[in-house]
Chain A
Amino acid sequence: MPEPIQDADRQAVVQARGINFWFGEGELQRQILFDVEFAIQPGEIVLLTGESGSGKTTLLTLIGALRTLTDGSLTVLGQELLHANAATQVAIRRRIGFIFQAHNLLPHLSALDNARLPLELSPEISREEGIERASALLTSVGVGHRMHAFPSRLSGGEKQRVAVARSLMGHPDLILADEPTSALDSRTGREVIELLVHLSRGRGVPILIVSHDARIFDLTDRAIHMEDGRIQSMASARNA
C-alpha cells in the first residue's frame, strides 16, 4: 500500500512509490523492478545509472507512460499512472520530451521537419509558426545550417542535436533521455548533454537521463544508481 503523499512530494514532477514490475506471465514471469521509490523535483536534472539489466530503462518507460504500471504508485506531472488507460498515457506522453538512444529521427523527414514533428499534435500552431520555432531551436542546438538535410546526411552528433531540438519543441514539462550519448564519442556526447542541460535549465524543465556514462554526472543535480531492479543509492552532484 503506497504511503500518503507528503507535502514536499506534492510538488514533485515524478513521484514513484513502491513500484514493482514484471515481464512475462506464469512460470516465465520475471520481476524487473523491486519496490522502487524516488522523486524528481521541478527543474531538477537527474542521472539514472546502472548496469545493463538493472531495470533503469524499464523504469524510464514506465515514467514515460509507454508501459502500464500494475503495482505501486507512479505520479508523473500530477497524473497517477497506476493502471492508466491508453488516453491518459497518450496525454502524459504529449507533455514529455523524449530523447532516444538511437536518436530515432524519421528518415523521410528533413532535420527541420523532424524537429517540428511534435507540433503535429498541436493544431493551434500554424505551419509557419512551427517552421519558425523549429528553425530557431535547430539554430540554438548548433545545426541551423543543416536543417534541410535528411538524417542519412547528418553525423551522429548532428542527429542527436536534432533529437534534442525535437524533444524541446513541444515545450515539454519533463524530458526523458535514454542513453543519449551512447552512440557518440565522449566529446560530442558531453557537448550534447551540456546543450540539453543548458536549454532545459533555461526553461526550467526537469530531465531524467539514463546513462552508463558517469562522466556527465557533474552536469546533473544528482544521480540515482540502480542494481538488479532496486535503487541502491542517490547522490547529489553538488555534494560530490
Chain B
Amino acid sequence: MPQKISLAFRQLAHDRMKFATAIAGVMVAVMLMWIQLGILAAVYESTTVIHRHITSDLVVFHPLSENMNGLKPFSVRTLYRVRGYPDVTGIGELLIGVVEWRRPDNGTIWKMQTYGIEVEEGWVDLPGLMTDGQSLKEADTFLFDRNSRAVFGPVVQTFLGGKAFEVELNHRRARVVGLTSMAASFGQQGNIVTSRANYLRLLKQFSPDEVHLGFVRLRPGADIPKAQAYLRQILAPEALVMTPQEFTDFELLYLKQNAPVGFVFTMGAVAGFFIGFIVVYQILYTDVTNNLPNFATMKAIGFTDWALFRIVIRQGVILSVLGYIPGSILAIGFYHIIQVGTSIPVRPTWDRAWLLLGLTCLMCLLSGAMATRKLRAADPADVF
C-alpha cells in the first residue's frame, strides 16, 4: 500500500531530540564499522603488498614458513633444481630482513624492513623499481618506500628536493637513489628495497647460499598447474611451490587464523553493529511503546498488523539512511587522519560502502523487527 502520509517519518521525527539521538547512534555505529573494517582491509593490503606485485608464475619457499615475515631461508641449490623442468625459463630470489636505520638528524634508531632483489629481472613490479632500480647496481644504495612512517625522517622531501639523503643502515652508510611505494603496517614502520648484493652487504650474517623466496618463470603458454605439480614433487620436502595468488591467500589465512589483528578488528566491526542494533532497537521500542495508543487507534480504523509493522520497519530504514550518510562521511575523514598519522593505507572502497549500507540496513531492520513484537500489545478495543 503506497503511503500518502509519511507516517513512519512523522512519528520518528515528532520528538526531535530522540530523533537526533537515534541518528547519532546509527552514525557512531556506522563510523565504527567503517573504521574497523577499513583498518582490517588496510592491514591485509599492506601485508600482501609484495605478494600482489609478484610477476613470476610460481613462488618457492621453505615449508616451515608461516608467512612473508616468517619466511625461513632455504638453500639456493634447492631453487636451482627447478631448472630441470623444461618449461622453466628463469628463476629469481628475494631476500628479506630487518636493518637498523639510524636517523642522521637525531641519531634515533628504527627497525627497517629490507628486501633484496635482482631488480632488472622484474620479478616484482612495485612502482619505481624498474625506473630507479638500475641505480641499485651501485654499492650501498636503496629505494625508500614513500609510504613509510615519518619516524625515519624527511627522506621523501629531501630526495624529491634533489638533495642526497644518506643514512646509516646496520652501521653502514647508504643513500637513497629512488622511491618506491609499498605501505607501512602494524608489523613494519617502513620498507626499503635494494639489490641482492647490497642486501648481503647490509646483512652480513645472512648466507649468500640461501634465499627466502624463490621466483619461477615459465615459458609463455606453459601449463602452470602441471608445472606446479611437477615442481612440488621434485622439491618436496625441502620447499613448497605456490602461484602468487596462492601465496597471497596463504598470507591472509595466516593473518586470519594466527594473528590477533584480524580477530580484533572483526570484533570491533561486530561491536559497532551491536551498538547500532541496541541503540536503534531501544529508540524504536520506546517509540512503539509510547505510541501504542496511536497504533491501537490505527488498528481500530482498519490498519492491519502488517501495515503497522511496515511503519516501524520504515522507521528502521529511515534511521539507517540518515545515520549511514554522515557516519560514512565522518569515517572517510577518520581514514584520512589514520593514513596521514600511521601511513597505513586505509582507503574507502565501494565494496565496503555497499557492504556497510547493507549491514546498516540489516541492523536497523532487525532492530525494527524486534521492536514490532510490542505492536501485538496494541489492542484496538483498548481505545474505547
Interface positions of A (Cβ within 8 A of B): 57, 60-61, 64, 66-67, 86, 90, 93-94, 98, 100-101, 104, 106-109, 113, 116-121, 123, 126-127, 130, 166, 170, 178
B2 x A123 contact (CB < 8 A): yes
Residue B17 interfacial (CB < 8 Å): no
Alpha-carbon gap, A208 to B74, bound state (A): 96
A98 x B300 contact (CB < 8 A): yes
Q: Which of A86, A93, A130, A166 contacts B4 (CB 8 A)?
A: A130
16 more CB-based (< 8 A) A-B contacts, given A61-B381, A118-B302: A60-B384, A64-B300, A66-B384, A90-B304, A93-B300, A93-B301, A100-B300, A104-B297, A106-B294, A106-B298, A108-B13, A113-B10, A117-B5, A120-B5, A120-B307, A166-B301
With contacts A107-B14, A113-B5, A127-B4 taken as known, whether A118 is within 8 angstroms of B384 at the C-beta atoms is no
Residue B73 interfacial (CB < 8 Å): no
Identify which of residues 9-55 in chain B touch chain A, using a CB-to-CB cut-off of 8 Å. Answer: 10-11, 13-14
Which residues of chain B are near A123, meaning CB under 8 Å? 1-2
B381 x A121 contact (CB < 8 A): no
A101 x B4 contact (CB < 8 A): no
Which residues of chain A are near B307, meaning CB under 8 Å? 120
With contacts A107-B294, A121-B1 taken as known, whether A90 is within 8 angstroms of B302 at the C-beta atoms is yes
Which residues of chain B are near A178, meaning CB under 8 Å? 384
What 0/1 readout, one digit per residue, does chain B (300-313) give for beta carbons within 8 Å of chain A? 11111101000000
Alpha-carbon gap, A120 to B294, bound state (A): 15
Alpha-carbon gap, A130 to B364, bound state (A): 31
Alpha-carbon gap, A98 to B297, bound state (A): 9
What 0/1 readout, one digit per residue, does chain B (79-111) give for beta carbons within 8 Å of chain A? 000000000000000000000000000000000
A108 x B14 contact (CB < 8 A): yes
Which residues of chain A are near B4, meaning CB under 8 Å? 116, 119-120, 126-127, 130
Chain B residues within 8 Å of chain A by Cβ, number: 26
Alpha-carbon gap, A94 to B298, bound state (A): 11
Main secondary structure of the interface of B (DSSP, over half): helix
Q: Which of A57, A108, A117, A127 contacts B11 (CB 8 A)?
A: A108
A101 x B294 contact (CB < 8 A): no
Chain B: minimal CB distance from A148 (Å): 14
Alpha-carbon gap, A167 to B313, bound state (A): 27
Taking CB as reference atom, which chain A residue is nearest B5? A113
Residue B3 interfacial (CB < 8 Å): yes
Return the 4 tightest CB-CB contacts between A and B, nearest first.
A94-B302, A108-B14, A66-B381, A127-B4
With contacts A107-B294, A108-B14, A127-B4 taken as known, whether A121 is within 8 angstroms of B301 at the C-beta atoms is yes
13 pairs, CB–CB < 8 Å, chain A vs chain B? A61-B381, A64-B300, A67-B381, A94-B301, A100-B300, A104-B293, A108-B10, A108-B11, A109-B7, A118-B301, A119-B4, A123-B2, A126-B4
Which residues of chain A are near B381, meaning CB under 8 Å? 61, 66-67
Which residues of chain B are near A109, meaning CB under 8 Å? 5, 7, 10
Which residues of chain B are near A100, meaning CB under 8 Å? 297, 300, 383-384
B7 x A120 contact (CB < 8 A): yes
Residue B122 interfacial (CB < 8 Å): no
Alpha-carbon gap, A113 to B302, bound state (A): 16
Alpha-carbon gap, A116 to B6, bound state (A): 12
Alpha-carbon gap, A94 to B14, bound state (A): 27
With contacts A98-B300, A104-B293, A107-B14 taken as known, whether A120 is within 8 angstroms of B384 at the C-beta atoms is no
Chain A: minimal CB distance from B292 (Å): 12
Chain A: minimal CB distance from B288 (Å): 13
Taking CB as reference atom, which chain B residue is nearest A114? B5
Which residues of chain A are near B298, meaning CB under 8 Å? 106, 117
Which residues of chain A are near B7, meaning CB under 8 Å? 109, 120
Q: Which of A64, A116, A166, A170 contacts B5 (CB 8 A)?
A: A116
Q: Which of B297, B303, B383 contacts A121 (CB 8 A)?
A: B303
A117 x B301 contact (CB < 8 A): yes
Residue B326 interfacial (CB < 8 Å): no
Which residues of chain B are near A118, meaning CB under 8 Å? 301-302
